[in-house]
Amino acid sequence: MGPDFDFETAAYADGAARVAGVDEVGRGPLAGPVTAAAVVLDPAHIPDGLNDSKQLSIKKRAYLAELLMDCAEISVAHASVEEIEQHNILRASHIAMMRAVAGLPNVPDHVLIDGSMIPRGMNIAAQPVVKGDTRCLSISAASIVAKIARDKLMVDLAQQHPGYGWETNMGYGSKSHMSALQNLGPTPHHRRTFKPVHNILYQDKNLKP
């Protein structure tokens, strides 16, 4: 059983005219921003095969993202490493989600949000959907768009900061990334409040005479 359109159908039945699905990627990495996408699907043109981006191959994700660009309204937004450090990763994720919704070409009147919480300050009718990326087509679409956008960003950052393997690990704490962090030290794109990065910085301070 994959995601379906039931949440959207219920919102339309309640009088909503535009329903957006929202999801974020990049809560767990040690480097890079957290990225969110908001997607309003056209009920008459929903691409086949939408699912949680983690369950799709790179090729399938890219193909579906292309289709979505042609048939859906899409907005992508980020919360920076500075914002992650200033607030915390959950709040930063919510900031990115709010920005993604605000960036849609037309304001939705109902928002379906992946997770168990509605971001603070959301002034549009919103509904949290636990495991929404596997249950709700609009959220699945948002998870695909957000993943593609963030991966592209990390590949670009990898060109500027070679050695950390971001073009393949996307900033997650892979073995090679951890090893590079030890040997090369953190970049401005590393999340210094995250334990593995913090520990390395703390070690360095302790080692200095």
pLDDT digits (tens, 9 = 90+) for 42-98: 999 999 999 999 999 999 999 999 999 999 999 999 999 999 999 999 999 999 999
CA distance 149 to 157: 13
Q: So where are the chain's domains?
A: 6-159, 161-207
Burial class (CB in 10 A: 0-12, 13-18, 19+), 49: middle
Mean pLDDT, range 109-129, rounded to an integer: 96
Answer whether residue 28 shows pLDDT above 60.
yes
pTM: 0.94
CA distance 12 to 131: 21
Q: What are phi and psi of 68, to 5 degrees?
A: -65, -35
Distances (CA, A) of 104 to 12, 62, 74, 137, 173: 18, 21, 6, 18, 32
pLDDT confidence bin for 200, thresholds 50/70/90? confident
**pLDDT at residue 180, rounded to an integer:** 95
pLDDT digits (tens, 9 = 90+) for 142-159: 999 999 999 999 999 999
CATH number among 3.40.50.1820, 3.90.650.10, 3.30.420.10, 3.30.2130.10, domain 6-159:
3.30.420.10
Task: Transcribe the chain into DSSP letters.
Answer: ---BSHHHHHHHHTT-S-EEEEEEE-SS-SBS-EEEEEEEE-TT-PPTT---GGGS-HHHHHHHHHHHHHHEEEEEEEE-HHHHHHS-HHHHHHHHHHHHHHTSSS--SEEEEESS-PPTT--S-EEEETTHHHHBHHHHHHHHHHHHHHHHHHHHHHHHSTTS-HHHHTTS--HHHHHHHHHH---TTB-TTSHHHHHHHHHHHHH--
